């Protein structure tokens, strides 16, 4: 994917939990949650303990991550964003990735608070496509605008 819109980057900068969908050996989905965010044009996340996730993504790198807005004061569909891509897995480096993500999940300049952690695994997702409802979707923007205008007229 060539360009990630600012609205998509801004949405993920809200420190939203990622639902990470990988495939088990039998093809069934496996879902868990984690911190995730942008590093350049890729999405990064990490795990200190989940060796099974690393094995699943090494076997089949296809991954889906979904995020839902924490809050929304409009009346259109609740904002959410889904990414489909391919993950690479590296041994180690999990604490550095969690420190990088802490700026969005804890606050600017923050570091991941648990410092005595195993090396874990880091994941980098090359994004193939994204979709969802939010300011990156023109239909959603129009629905949100129309509903806000209708609500304002009723007041």
Domain regions of the chain by residue span: 6-154
Report the chain's mean pLDDT, rounded to a whole number. Answer: 93
pLDDT tens-place string over residues 90-123: 999 999 999 999 999 999 999 999 999 999 999 9
Contacts for 49 with CB less than 8 Å, ≥ 6 apart: 118, 120
pLDDT at 146: 84
pLDDT at 77: 76
Q: Is the pLDDT of residue 148 over 70?
A: yes
User: Among the CATH numbers 3.30.420.240, 3.40.50.970, 2.30.110.10, 3.20.20.140, which is that of 6-154?
Assistant: 2.30.110.10
Helix (H, G, I), strand (E, B) or coil at 4: coil
Asked whether the beta carbons of 150 and 69 are under 8 A apart, the reply is no
Q: Is 103 left (phi over 0), alpha (psi -120 to 50) or beta?
A: alpha
| Mean pLDDT along residues 55-60 | 97
Helix (H, G, I), strand (E, B) or coil at 53: helix
Q: Is the pLDDT of residue 47 over 70?
A: yes
């Amino acid at each position: 994917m060539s360009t990630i819109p600012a609205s998509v980057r801004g949405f993920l900068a809200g420190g939203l939990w990622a639902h990470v969908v990988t495939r088990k050996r039998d093809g069934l989905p496996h879902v868990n949650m984690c911190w995730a965010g942008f590093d350049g044009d890729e999405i990064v996340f990490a795990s200190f303990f989940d060796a099974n996730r690393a094995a699943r993504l090494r076997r089949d790198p296809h991954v889906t991550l979904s995020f839902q807005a924490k809050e929304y004061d409009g009346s259109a569909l609740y904002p959410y964003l889904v990414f489909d891509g391919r993950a690479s897995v590296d041994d180690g480096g999990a604490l550095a990735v969690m420190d990088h993500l802490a700026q969005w999940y804890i606050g600017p300049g923050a570091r991941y608070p648990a410092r005595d952690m195993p090396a874990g695994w880091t994941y980098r997702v090359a994004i193939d496509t994204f979709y969802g409802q939010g300011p990156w979707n023109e239909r959603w923007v129009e629905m949100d605008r129309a509903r806000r205008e209708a609500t304002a007229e009723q007041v």
